[in-house]
Amino acid sequence: MARSLVIKVTAGADAPERCNQAFNVAAAALASGVPVSLWLTGESSWFALPGRAAEFDLPHAAPLADLLGAVLAAGRVTLCTQCAARRGITVDDVIDGVRIAGAPTFVEEATAEGVQALVY
């Protein structure tokens, strides 16, 4: 069985380098043929909303909107249920292709056979 990645990103504009690393690793893995499930939690939850990734700026880094687009095109993006609720984000607010799911789904994905989970 091929390995896949479940990447949980907890950082947003509050920790831009850590945030960008998570998206960068997700996009690089997908480009290498590795299946990826990217979870937006904590401050990264805001990137589930249209236009928010385009507002993110980190010098010498790939644009976050491009990285998110790559993950949406070839992987899975999930917004944490509780994180969305705390920010008043609903399923009607998110970018097409982003799903909202909770801890049981994350645990199921992260503990599946052949999965490596990374947390940023």
Q: Integer distance in angstroms from the first to the last C-alpha of the chain?
A: 25
Question: By 3-state DSSP, what share of the chain in percent is helix, strand and coil, each rounded to 5?
Answer: 45, 20, 35
Nearest to 103 by CA among 116, 89, 88, 85: 85
At 65-89, the pLDDT tens digits run 999 999 999 999 999 999 999 999 9
Residue spans of the domains in the chain: they are 4-119
Task: Count other C-beta atoms under 10 Å from residue 40's C-beta.
Answer: 28
| pLDDT at position 1 over 60 | no
Q: What φ, ψ does residue 38 adopt, rounded to 5°?
A: -105, 125
Say which CATH superfamily domain 4-119 falls into. Answer: DsrEFH-like (3.40.1260.10)
Q: What is the pLDDT of residue 60?
A: 97
Q: Tell me the pTM.
A: 0.96
At 47-61, the pLDDT tens digits run 999 999 999 999 999
